[in-house]
Amino acid sequence: MFTGLVSDVGEVLSVEERGGLKRLRVACAYDPATIQLGASIAHNGVCMTVVDFGPRGQGAWYDIDAAAETLAVTTAGQWRVGTKLNLERALKIGDELGGHLVSGHVDGVAKLRARKDFDGMAHFDIEAPHALAKFIAEKGSVALDGASLTINKVDGDAFTILLIPHTLAVTIWGARKAGDDINIEVDVMARYAARLSEAK
């Protein structure tokens, strides 16, 4: 589990095709002594497993495997050498839950329709996949590229978010632009509420 609070911005160092999967090497600022084989790290919201790692400068490098399903339903298939990724380590018992509970299981890919910058902040207009739109509610939470964000307004399949200067500075959102694909994970509470409603 994760909280949607990005703890580092990593960079893809290499991408290796291995049949039905891709092996990616990621550079990060994490202390290599704190990384373990089999550890879960969210990459733009996608929970992936560390399969190898080592020190790199003041930080570390580690390898992850992206399987065919991950490549098909997330933006992982678009990641190239130099791609920047929002990173988050798995939640530990006792950690502060400052965002909302995020599983790291991306539901689909949304589209960034427009961006408007003002006063150091940025207003984003996002279009959700139609099947996920029913889980999007004003003042609710959503994980976009792994960041826990609050929904401002909803209009059909589209919704808006507002990012403060800090979030723009410490995540990949500062470089996001119209036309970008965005990994989306809807709030698990919204999913269960909808399922219960359907069951009735």
Domain-ending residue, one of 89, 116, 151: 89
Q: Max CA-CA distance within the chain?
A: 57
Considering the candidates 28, 42, 47, 76, report the single residue annotated as catalytic. Answer: 47
Q: How confident is the model at residue 55 (pLDDT cuts 50, 70, 90)?
A: very high
For residue 83, give its domain range.
Answer: 8-89
- Last residue in a domain, options 57, 89, 121: 89
Domain count, the chain: 2
161 in a domain, yes or no?
yes
Indicate if 83 and 117 belong to the same structural domain.
no
Domain membership flag for residue 56: yes
Quick one: 197 exposed, middle or buried, by C-beta within 10 A (0-12, 13-18, 19+)?
A: exposed
* 114 noted as active-site residue: no
To the query of whether residue 105 is one of the catalytic residues in this protein, the response is yes
Q: Among residues 141, 107, 153, which one has the least CA distance to residue 5?
A: 141
Is the same domain home to 136 and 186?
yes
Residues 6 or more apart from 80 whose CB is under 8 A from it?
Answer: 12, 15
CATH of the domain at 151: 2.40.30.20
pLDDT over 80 (residue 194) = no
Catalytic status, residue 67: yes
Residue 1 — pLDDT band, cuts 50, 70, 90?
A: confident
DSSP per-residue codes, 76-124: GGG--TT-EEEEEEPP-TT----S--B-S---EEEEEEEEEEETTEEEE
pLDDT of 92: 76
Q: Quick one: average pLDDT of 76-103?
A: 87
Active site residue 28: no
Choosing from 7, 103, 150, 160, which is the catalytic residue?
150
Task: Report residue 191's pLDDT band, with 50, 70 and 90 as the boundaries.
Answer: confident
Entry pTM: 0.93
Residue 155 parent element (H or E): strand 153-155
Considering the domain architecture, whether residues 19 and 70 belong to the same structural domain is answered as yes
Residues in the chain: 200
Tokens, residue 30: 């994490």
Query: What are 24-41's pLDDT values in tens digits?
Result: 999 999 999 999 999 999
The whole-number average pLDDT for the span 77-88 is: 97
Residue 73 counted as domain residue: yes
pLDDT of residue 200: 64
Q: 2 lies in a domain?
A: no
